[in-house]
Amino acid sequence: MSKFHVSTTVNGDAVDYLCDPRETLLDCLRDKLNLTGAKEGCGTGDCGACSVTVDGRLVCSCLMLGVEADGKQIETVEGIAEGDVLHPLQKKFIEHAALQCGICTPGILVAAKSLLEKNPNPTEEEARYWLAGNLCRCTGYDKIIRAVMETAEELREAS
Amino acid sequence: MDYHSPASFAEASALAANATGITRFLAGGTDVLVQLRSELVTPDTLIDIKKIDGVRDINSNADGSWTLGVAATGADMSEHLELGRDWPGVVEAMDLIGSTQVQGRATLTGNLCNGSPAADSVPAMVAAGVTVTVTGPDGDREVAVEDIPTGPGRTSLAKGELISAVHIPARGDNGGDAYLRFIPRTEMDIAVVGVGVSLRLDGDTVTEARVSLGAVAPTVLLVEDCAKAIIGSALDDVSLDALAAAASAACNPIDDKRGTIEFRTEVAGVLAKRAAKIAYARAKGEEA
Amino acid sequence: MALDDRKTQFTFVGTRPDRPDGLDKVTGRAKFGADVSAPGMLHGAILRSPHAHARIVKIDTSQAEAHKDVKAVVTRADFAEVPFKPGLEGEFWNVLENVMAGEKALYDGHAVAAVAATSALAARDALKLIEVEYEVLPHVTDVDKAMEPDAPVLREGAADYSVPEGMHPNVVRYHESGHGDVEAGFAEADLIIEDSFVTEATHQGYIEPHACLGMLGNDGKGELWCTTQGHWIAQKTCAALLGIETSQLRVTASEIGGGFGGKTTVFIEPVALALSRKANRPVKLVMTRSEVFRATGPTSSASMDIKIGMKKDGTISAAQGVFRLQGGAFPGAPGDMTAMCAFAPYNLTNVSQIGYDVMANRPKQAAYRAPGAPMGAFAVESVIDELCKKLGLDPIEVRLKNAAHEGTKASYGPTYERIGLVETLEAAKAHPHYSAPLKPGQGRGISCGFWFNHGGETSVSLALSEDGSAQLMVGTPDIGGSRASMALMAAEVLGIPYENIRVTVADTATLGYNDVSHGSRVTYASGLATIKAAKHAVEKLCERAAASWGIPADAVKWENGCAVPSGPNAGDFDPRPLADITAHMGQTGGPISGHFEATPEGAGVSFGTHIVDAEVDPETGKTAITRYTVIQDAGKAIHPTYVEGQYQGGAAQGIGWALNEEYIYGEDGRLQNSIFLDYRIPVASDLPMIDTVIVEVPNPGHPFGVRGVGETGIVPPLAAIANAVSHAAGVRMKQLPMSPPRILAALKDNG
Amino acid sequence: MVEVHLWSSLRSLTGGQQVVEVEAKTTGELLRELVKIHPQLQAPIDAGVSIAIDGRVIASGLTEPIPEGSEIYLMQRLRGG
C-alpha cells in the first residue's frame, strides 16, 4: 500500500508527513507531528475532543483523512496561545474551573474560539448549541458555558 | 485502499467505472470515515471529489432556482443568507445533521448517497422538489432526489455514476418549507422520525404541497395523501388532523434502538402538523 | 505543640485559586493515556468475541504470527495461572478471565486474543488473520431472566457462602439486613404502596478511552504508563496476572480523562505487558470507543420491588426492598450496597432490605460513582413521592419528618455520628427554587441521597526545598482538580503561599501504596495524609528552630509560616520563617521532609437533596430539564469551585441516566449502541445551568472536617427527575431511562 | 465485652444468632474472636467486611481500638467508585 506525501501548515508552521490513505488527520497530527493536544474520544465525530480548524472551518480531525490536509491551513489547541500569552478563553477556563479531568478541554477551547470569532455576542443557547458536539462528562457544562460567555463579554468590552 | 483526487467529474466517473471491489466517493466524509474507522466498509478505491472546480459553490440562477456544488457543506449553506430565505426548511434540515464540527464537512449529496432512511436533509429535499445531476460513463442525467435511495444503504446509482450537482427549484411566490425531526436529545442524534413540508398558498388556501417522511420506512417517503389532506384547506384543525392521520398511515417503520413502531407512527403525525404550520407561516411571510 | 486540634478557621482552605495543572490542560500539553510513545514502540490491538456466550473451541494464530508486520500474538496461554476461586475472593481470577477469555467468551466484546504490530493499522489488519472457532451457547442478558430456573448457566461454582440453597447458579451473592418488624410496621400504616422498578445499565462515559504503554522484559522488570484511577492496583493486578513480582513493575499514572469508577481496575494493561514480553519491545494499546462500551465496566442493571407504609402524618412505619442487580459475567454487582444505602436517609423503626448479585452475559460491571446507590434511591424515593402525593403531604416536610440525624439507627445498622441530611433538607425548603412557580406541563421533583464514602490506604510525602518551597507527592490520580485541594491543605498547615507548593502524582516506585481514587476518598484521605505529612515537616522545622535558639522543641510552636516561641516563658526570639530554616537545613540536620502512611478510617457518610423541574411534551414524550439545584453536605469545602463542579457533574450524569442512557442488547445478545451517537450522554444544549448549595456539617473523622463529595451527587438525580417527570406527565414512571418512547407509551396507557 | 451486631443474612451461619458477645480490644481481635465462636463466619470475613464502631465505619483496618461498651456492627465491605 503506497503512502502519500502531504505538505500542510499547522499553527503557522509548514510541515510534511507521509501517510496511509486510511489514516485520519487526527492520527497524523498525533502520531506523525506529535501534536497530541487533539484527543480521540470516539473516532466517529460524536465527541469533539479532536476539534481543529481547517482553513478557518471547525471540524473533527477524526472525520478527515490525513491526505485531505494537503495545502490546508490547520489550527490546533497548541496554536491558541500567542507564545506564552494565553488566549482569554484559556485564562477564563482556568479561572472558572471549566475543566475537571481536562480531556475535552482542548476540543472545547478550539470550538469556543471558533464560535467567538464567528459570533462575538452569542446567547447562552447559541453557545450551548454550538458546543453540543463537544462532550464533557465531568462538569455538566455549567462552568464551561459561564467561561465562554464571560470571555465573550470581556472580548467585546476590549474591542 | 487507493486514494484518488480527480480534477473533473468525467475523470471521477471513469475511475469508478474501472475500479474493482468497493468504491466510495469522498465529499465531506462524515459517513465514509466512520464506516472506514469501524471497518464496516473499507473501500478498495476512495475517490475524493473536492479537488474538482466549483464543487463548493452555491449559485443562484436567473430563473430563481439554485445550483449547489456537491461539496458545499452544511456550514456553507447556513451562512448563505439568500438560500436560507428561499429554502429555510432545506437549510435547517441540513443544519440539524451532527455537530458544528460535522457541519464544517457534511454535504447534501453525502447525506443522500449514504442511503439512510433517517437522513435529515433528504425529506426536506424531497418536499422541496430537489433534483440532482448524475454523471456517469454515458454522460449526465437529471434525477429527482426521491429516486436516488432504494433501501437502507443502497442507491439507484450504477457503477461509475456519481452526483455532480444539486438543483433546488425556484421558491416562487407565497411558498414556504419546513423540516422537523424527532430526537431524544436536543442535538447529535439520528432522526427517529423526520418530516419535510413544502407548500404554496393562494391567500389563506394551500394550493400546492409536498410532504415527505423520514425514518419511518426503508426509504424516505413522498406521501401524496398528506399533500391531499391539506391542499385546498387553510390548514384548519380538521385538515391538520387529516394530515397527521395520513402521515401515520404512511409509516412502515421498524422497532430498533432508536424508537418503536408505535412511537414512530404516532410522532410522524405530530411532526407533520407542526412542520406544516411552520411552512404555512413562512408562506404567509410570517416569522416561524 | 497543639498540632492535633481540629481546625475551624482557615487562611487558604475555602479559597478558589487556579489549579496547578491548569496551564498544561488548556494548552494541550498535559499527557493523557494515549499521548506518549517510546522508541521501537509497537501498536497493539485486541480481537473480541462477536458472541454473547460461546465456548472457544480453537484459536489459530499462525497466519497472524507469520505476517511480517506482526511481532507478537497472545492468547490466554500467555498469562499466569491464577487459581479459580468463587466469589469476590477470587477477584484476580475474575480480572484475568475478563482481560483475556479462557474456555468461554462470556459477553459480546470479550477479549480472546491480541496482536502487536509495527503500526496501529497493521495491528488492526492482523486481527483478521486470527481464526477463532466458537461453539455458540445460549445467553441471557436480563437480570430477572438470568435468575429463572431455565436460564443459561454462566459458570458453576461462582456463588459464595451467602447464597441460600435452591437459587440459580447465576445468583452469586446474597445480602439481607434491617431491623424491627416490618409486618407490624405495615399494620400501623394508613397507606401502603408496593411497586416494582427497573433501571438499565449505564456506562461511566469518560471521554478518554483506556490507553496504556507497557514494556516488560524477560527479566521480569517492567514499566507501565496508563490512564487509571489507581496505579498501585494496576501494579498489583498486572504483576499477579503476568506472574512477576509486584515491585519489579513500575507504574506511572498518566493524566486521566475521567474515570467515575470505571478506571479502578485493569483491562488492556496486562495485555500490553504480555505482548511486550513476547515481542521484547514497548507496546501501546488504545481502546476504541466501541471497545470501551462493549468491554469495559458499565454499571449494573437493576430490578427492584419496594413496599413502604406511611401514616397520615407522614411518618414511615415500615419499609422493605428487594434489589436484584446484574453485574455482567462475574460476581461483583453491588446489590449489597444498594440494599444498605436505599433507606439510609431515614429514621426507620422497621426496615428490611435484600440484595442479589446476579451474573449475565454482559461485560463485567465496574464501579460507577456511588455504585449501587442511585438505583435504590430511584425506587425508594419514587414510592415516597407517590405516598406524599396520595396523602397530600409536602415531599420535603415528609422527608424532614423521617430524616436521619445524629443518634439515629441507620437502616444498615449502626448509629449515625454527626450527619448533615436535615441541613440539606432545610436548605432545599428555603431555596427559591422550591417555591418558584411552575409553568403548565412542568413538574417538580425532589429526592434525598446517601453514600458511605471511603478512606483507604494512603501514602503522602512532602519535601521542603532550600528556598522555602515545598513539593508534595501524592498517589491518587487527579481526576477533578485534587492537586489544588492538596496544595491548599498543605499551605494551610505550612503557612506558605499556595503557589509555592508543587503537587505531583507520584509513580509506584516513588511512594508507598495508595488505594485507588475512588469512594470519594481523595480529598478526605490524601487530604488527611497531606495535612499529617505537612505537620510532620512542621515538627522538624520547630525542632530546628528550637535547636538554634537553644530551647526545648516543645517550647516552639508554628504560627503563620514561622517558628515562634510557644509563650513568654520559652524565651524572646524573633520568628523564623520556613525559608529561613530550610535555607540551612543541610547543615542543621539534613533535608526536611514530612511523611504519612496509614489507612484513615473516618471518611464520614454524606447526604444530598436535589430539586429538579422537568417539562414533558405530551405529544412526543420528550423531556426537558428546565431547572436543577443540588444541595449537598461537603463537611468542609477545601476548594469550593471544584466541589460545585462535582455536584454539577453528578447531576448531569444523573440526568443522562434518568432520561436517555442505556445499554441496548439485541436478541442475539450483542450490544447495539456502542458509539456516542446512540449511547446518548447529555450534550451542552440538553442542560440548564446547575445551581449548587454547599452545606458544611464537619466530618468528625477529618482534621478540617472534610467529607467526600464525588459520589453522593449522582444518588438523588434519578429519583428527583423521575418524580418531576411523573408529576409533569401525570403518570408514574417506573423504568429508566425515561426515554420518549417509554413516556409516550405510559401516557397512552394512562389514557 | 462488646456486642457485635451481624447483618441478618449471617444468621444462617450462627445458628440464628444476630448479636454475638466477644472480648476484643481491636477490630482484628474482634474478627478472630467472632470466628472462634462461629467458625462459619470465616467465609464472609474472607469475602470482606467493614466494622462500624459507634457509627464510624472502619472499612478494612484491623488495628482500630474498640472502646469498652461501644456499639459494634459488622457490615459488608464497602466499595466505592
B159 and B213 part of one domain: no
As beta bridge partners, residue B166 has B68, B132
Confidence of residue A159 (pLDDT cuts 50, 70, 90): confident
Q: Which residue of D has its CA nearest to C351?
A: D8
B106 and B183 part of one domain: no
C649 and C707 part of one domain: yes
How far from the centroid of its chain's Cα atoms is residue B78's Cα?
Answer: 15
Is 70 exceeded by the pLDDT of residue C68?
yes
Q: Rounded to 5 degrees, what angle do the CA atoms C471, C24, A8 make?
A: 150
B45 and B98 part of one domain: yes
- What value does the mean pLDDT take over residues C719-732? 98
A130 and A100 part of one domain: yes
For residue range B179-232, what is the model confidence (pLDDT) as tens digits?
Answer: 999 999 999 999 999 999 999 999 999 999 999 999 999 999 999 999 999 999
- What value does the mean pLDDT take over residues C342-347? 98
Contact map slice: C 417-436 vs D, CB within 8 A = 417
Q: Mean pLDDT over all residues of chain B?
A: 97
Of C289, C645, C681, the CB nearest to A100: C645
Inside any domain, residue C740: yes
Is 70 exceeded by the pLDDT of residue C360?
yes
B164 and B202 part of one domain: no
Q: Tell me whether residues B1 and A21 touch, CB distance under 8 A.
A: yes
B25 and B78 part of one domain: yes
C404 and C416 part of one domain: yes
- What value does the mean pLDDT take over residues C597-608? 93
Of C499, B200, C684, the closest CA to residue A142 belongs to C684
Q: Tell me whether residues C337 and D46 touch, CB distance under 8 A.
A: no
Q: How far apart are CA C187 and CA C190, in angstroms?
A: 8
Provide CB contacts within 8 A for C751, sequence distance 6+. Answer: none
Inside any domain, residue C490: yes
Q: Rounded to 5 degrees, what angle do the CA atoms C251, C253, C257 make?
A: 150
**B261 has a chain C CB within 8 A of its CB:** no
Boundaries of domain holding B78: 2-116+131-168
DSSP character string of C186-197: HHH-SEEEEEEE
As beta bridge partners, residue C205 has none
Backbone φ, ψ for residue C394 (5° rounding): -75, 130
Q: Which residue of C has its CA nearest to B267?
A: C620
Q: How far apart are CA C709 and CA C707, in angstroms?
A: 6
B157 and B218 part of one domain: no
Q: Tell me whether residues A27 and C683 touch, CB distance under 8 A.
A: no
Q: Are strands B45-48 and B149-151 parallel, antiparallel or unpaired?
A: unpaired
A25 and A92 part of one domain: no
Contact map slice: C 496-525 vs D, CB within 8 A = 518-521
Inside any domain, residue C346: no
A104 and A128 part of one domain: yes
C620 and C538 part of one domain: no
Given this model, what pLDDT does residue B88 score? Answer: 98
Inside any domain, residue B124: no
Confidence of residue D78 (pLDDT cuts 50, 70, 90): confident
For residue range A95-107, what is the model confidence (pLDDT) as tens digits?
Answer: 999 999 999 999 9
CATH of the domain at A14: 3.10.20.30
Confidence of residue C1 (pLDDT cuts 50, 70, 90): very low
Inside any domain, residue C548: yes
Confidence of residue C90 (pLDDT cuts 50, 70, 90): confident
Of B48, B73, B101, the CB nearest to A48: B101
B154 and B181 part of one domain: no
List the grid coordinates of B116: 439512510
Boundaries of domain holding A72: 4-79
Of C265, C259, C243, C268, the closest CA to residue C111 belongs to C268
Boundaries of domain holding C654: 372-453+604-749
Domains: count for chain C: 2
B163 and B245 part of one domain: no
How far from the centroid of its chain's Cα atoms is residue D69's Cα?
Answer: 14
Is 70 exceeded by the pLDDT of residue C332?
yes
For residue range A3-57, what is the model confidence (pLDDT) as tens digits?
Answer: 999 999 999 999 999 999 999 999 999 999 999 999 999 999 999 999 999 999 9
Of A47, A94, A143, the CB nearest to C19: A94
B262 and B135 part of one domain: no
Domains: count for chain B: 2
Within 8 A of B258 by CB-CB distance, chain C residues are 678
Domains: count for chain A: 2
Inside any domain, residue C631: yes
Q: Tell me whether residues D47 and C453 touch, CB distance under 8 A.
A: no
Inside any domain, residue B91: yes
CATH of the domain at C483: 3.30.365.10
For residue range C8-60, what is the model confidence (pLDDT) as tens digits?
Answer: 899 999 999 999 999 999 999 999 999 999 999 999 999 999 999 999 999 99
Q: Tell me whether residues D54 and C160 touch, CB distance under 8 A.
A: no
Which residue, of A79, A114, A135, is where some domain finishes? A79
Q: Which residue of D has its CA nearest to C356?
A: D9
The rounded percent of chain B whose pLDDT value lies above 70 is 99
Contact map slice: B 20-39 vs A, CB within 8 A = 26, 28-30, 33-34, 36-38
Given this model, what pLDDT does residue C87 score? Answer: 74
Name the minimum distance, in Å, from the CA of B203 to any CA of chain A: 35
Confidence of residue C4 (pLDDT cuts 50, 70, 90): low
Which whole-number Å values give the CA distances from C732 to B191, C67, C301, C314, C739, in the listed order?
A: 27, 59, 20, 20, 14
Provide CB contacts within 8 A for C248, sequence distance 6+. Answer: C220, C221, C222, C239
C615 and C676 part of one domain: yes
Within 8 A of A24 by CB-CB distance, chain B residues are 33, 37
Which residue, of C598, C619, C638, is where some domain finishes? C598
C421 and C466 part of one domain: no
DSSP C499: G
Q: Tell me whether residues B99 and A57 touch, CB distance under 8 A.
A: no
A57 and A92 part of one domain: no
Within 8 A of B270 by CB-CB distance, chain C residues are 619-620
Q: Tell me whether residues C672 and B38 touch, CB distance under 8 A.
A: no
SS (H, E, C) B25-72: EECCCCCHHHHHHCCCCCCCEEEECCCCCCCCCEEECCCCCEEECCCC
Of A20, A24, A58, the CB nearest to B104: A58
B156 and B219 part of one domain: no
SS (H, E, C) C679-741: CCCCCHHHCCCEEEEEECCCCCCCCCCCCCCCCHHHCCHHHHHHHHHHHHHCCCCCEECCCHH
Which residue, of C567, C598, C629, is where some domain finishes? C598
CATH of the domain at B218: 3.30.390.50
Q: Tell me whether residues C337 and D76 touch, CB distance under 8 A.
A: yes
Using CB atoms, list chains with 3+ pairs below 8 Å to chain A.
B, C
Given this model, what pLDDT does residue C470 score? Answer: 98
A-D interface (Cβ pairs under 8 Å ≥ 3): no
The rounded percent of chain C whose pLDDT value lies above 90 is 96
Inside any domain, residue B126: no
Go through the domains of chain D in sequence order and give each one's CATH number: 2-76 (3.10.20.30)
- Residue of B22, B42, B76, B99 for testing the chain A interface, max A β-carbons within 10 Å: B99
Which residue, of A49, A79, A109, is where some domain finishes? A79
Inside any domain, residue C608: yes
Q: Are C79 and C96 in contact (CB under 8 A)?
A: yes
**A68 has a chain B CB within 8 A of its CB:** yes
Given this model, what pLDDT does residue D81 score? Answer: 67
Burial class (CB within 10 angstroms; exposed 0-12, middle 13-18, buried 19+) of A155? middle
CATH of the domain at B41: 3.30.465.10
Place of cell 463466619: D41
As beta bridge partners, residue B26 has B48
Given this model, what pLDDT does residue A2 score? Answer: 83
A70 and A121 part of one domain: no
Using CB atoms, list chains with 3+ pairs below 8 Å to chain C.
A, B, D
For residue range C564-589, what is the model confidence (pLDDT) as tens digits?
Answer: 999 999 999 999 999 999 999 999 99
Q: Which residues of C563-596 are buried (b: 16+ CB within 10 A; e: fewer)?
A: bbbbeeebeebeebbbbbbbeebeeeeeebbbbb
Is 70 exceeded by the pLDDT of residue B92?
yes
Within 8 A of D54 by CB-CB distance, chain C residues are 414-415, 417
3-state secondary structure of C16: coil
Q: Are C347 and C317 in contact (CB under 8 A)?
A: no
Contact map slice: C 448-487 vs D, CB within 8 A = 452-456
A62 and A101 part of one domain: no
**B259 has a chain C CB within 8 A of its CB:** yes
Within 8 A of C744 by CB-CB distance, chain B residues are 262-263, 266-267
Inside any domain, residue B65: yes
A73 and A92 part of one domain: no
- What value does the mean pLDDT take over residues C241-245? 96
**C68 has a chain A CB within 8 A of its CB:** no
Inside any domain, residue C90: no
Within 8 A of B263 by CB-CB distance, chain C residues are 621, 740-741, 744-745
A70 and A124 part of one domain: no
Given this model, what pLDDT does residue B288 score? Answer: 58
Q: Are C59 and C113 in contact (CB under 8 A)?
A: yes
For residue range B71-87, what is the model confidence (pLDDT) as tens digits?
Answer: 999 999 999 999 999 99
Predicted structure pTM score: 0.97
Given this model, what pLDDT does residue C3 score? Answer: 38
Given this model, what pLDDT does residue C7 score? Answer: 83
Q: Tell me whether residues B188 and C683 touch, CB distance under 8 A.
A: yes
Q: Are A75 and A11 in contact (CB under 8 A)?
A: yes
Provide CB contacts within 8 A for B286, sequence distance 6+. Answer: none
Which residue, of A56, A79, A102, is where some domain finishes? A79
Within 8 A of A58 by CB-CB distance, chain B residues are 100-101, 104
B85 and B160 part of one domain: yes
Inside any domain, residue B204: yes
Length of chain D: 81
Inside any domain, residue C569: yes
Given this model, what pLDDT does residue A34 score? Answer: 97
Given this model, what pLDDT does residue C5 score? Answer: 59
Within 10 Å of residue C391's Cβ, how many Cβ atoms? 15
**C35 has a chain A CB within 8 A of its CB:** yes
Given this model, what pLDDT does residue D26 score? Answer: 96
B19 and B146 part of one domain: yes
Which residue, of C598, C617, C645, is where some domain finishes? C598
Q: Mean pLDDT over all residues of chain C?
A: 96
Within 8 A of A22 by CB-CB distance, chain B residues are 1, 36, 42
For residue range C643-662, what is the model confidence (pLDDT) as tens digits?
Answer: 999 999 999 999 999 999 99
Within 8 A of C109 by CB-CB distance, chain B residues are none
Q: Tell me whether residues B262 and C741 touch, CB distance under 8 A.
A: yes
Q: Which residues of D52-73 are buried (b: 16+ CB within 10 A; e: fewer)?
A: bbebbbbbbbeebebeeeebbb
Within 8 A of A76 by CB-CB distance, chain C residues are 28
Name the minimum distance, in Å, from the CA of B101 to any CA of chain C: 14
Q: What separation, in Å, do the N-terminal and C-terminal C-alpha atoms of chain D show?
A: 36
